[in-house]
Amino acid sequence: MNTSVSCIAVLREFFEGAAVPYGLSGPDAEYALTVYHNPHAKHPMDPRRLVGSRVTHWMREDQYAWAPCPS
């Protein structure tokens, strides 16, 4: 169990509401950030430190499932 990484963030790019490969959307791109938290982290990141209307945080419910982090 890796304790050195507290979370992994994935930046997604959208164009006209659909996810597109990064850099292909042009100047009117919209972005969303998804943060997956490591439940085994020695120094976990507090989800309240990274907030925004397009930021979602996920925590492990069990070995196979992720659940949205309560806001």
SS3 of 40, please? coil
Calculate Rg over the CA atoms of the chain: 14
Percent of the chain with pLDDT over 90: 45
CB contact at 8 A, 14 and 20: yes
Task: Kindly report the pTM of this predicted structure.
Answer: 0.80
Does residue 33 surpass a pLDDT of 90? yes
- Listing DSSP states for 5-22 in one string gives --EEEEEEEEETTEEE-T
| pLDDT in the model for residue 43 | 93
Does residue 30 surpass a pLDDT of 90? no
| pLDDT in the model for residue 50 | 92
DSSP state of 46: P
Model confidence band, residue 1 (pLDDT cutoffs 50, 70, 90): low
Mean pLDDT of 21-47: 86
Question: Domain residues of the chain, as ranges?
Answer: 7-68
